[in-house]
């Protein structure tokens, strides 16, 4: 795919910003989800970027979700937003390490694992509606990048926040969670809620026939 010029990119973004909000979410099968996104180098300018971030946040809330990457709304930029109120039971919080995360903007993010710990849980995606699957991810990661003001980010995440960071950053490289999923765990959301809503996927592993990591 030929790289977009600054004008082409701003025209594309303006098309979305001038349309309805929340934005429509791109579903799996659209090439924009499978191509590495462009690094953000100030192409949009401060005001346009601020508007895009605001609309992406509205779209994430409306979905609802805890993260949204720009390619998921058809914009091939290394930009994502995350936010998680983590309104879950104490049992789920303790098992999954799911704690509230404030609203954050991730610009040109990248992550690296910290330690050898791995965690496996059911995961879904706004671009793959109606399905969930178990994904083994790094339990702790270091995230680097910038925020919407260009300030450097260098933070450690663990538990569920680490999962969100990995999921959204993967989107920017053209990777969907299904690429990393245990395929035997693939379940409709209906079955995931009715059968596999336990804090951990141990029962699903036993019933569906897949192996969970030991650490």
Tell me the catalytic residues: 168
Residues 6+ apart with CB under 8 A from 186: 131, 132, 133, 178
The length of the chain in residues reads 215
Exposed, middle or buried: residue 46 (CB in 10 Å: 0-12, 13-18, 19+)? Answer: exposed
Cα 1–Cα 163–Cα 194 angle in degrees, nearest 5: 105
**Three-class SS state of 106:** strand
């Amino acid at each position: 795919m030929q790289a977009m010029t600054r004008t082409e990119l701003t025209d594309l973004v303006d098309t979305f910003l001038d349309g309805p909000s929340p934005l429509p979410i791109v579903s799996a099968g659209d090439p924009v989800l499978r191509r590495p996104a462009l690094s953000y180098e100030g192409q949009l300018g401060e005001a346009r970027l601020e508007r895009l971030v605001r609309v992406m946040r509205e779209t994430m809330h409306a979905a609802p979700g805890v993260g949204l990457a720009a390619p998921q709304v058809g914009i091939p930029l290394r930009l994502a937003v995350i936010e998680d109120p983590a309104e879950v039971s104490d049992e789920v919080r303790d098992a999954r390490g799911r704690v509230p995360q404030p609203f954050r903007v991730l610009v040109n993010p990248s992550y690296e694992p910290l330690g050898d710990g791995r965690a496996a849980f059911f995961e879904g995606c706004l671009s793959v509606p109606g399905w969930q699957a178990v994904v083994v991810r790094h339990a702790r990661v270091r995230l680097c990048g910038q925020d919407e003001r260009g300030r450097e980010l260098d933070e450690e995440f663990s538990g569920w926040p680490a999962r969100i960071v990995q999921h959204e950053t993967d989107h920017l490289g053209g990777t969907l969670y299904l690429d990393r999923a245990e395929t035997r765990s693939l379940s409709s959301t209906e079955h995931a809620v009715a059968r596999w809503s336990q804090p951990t996927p141990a029962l699903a592993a036993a019933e569906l026939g897949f192996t969970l990591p030991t650490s």
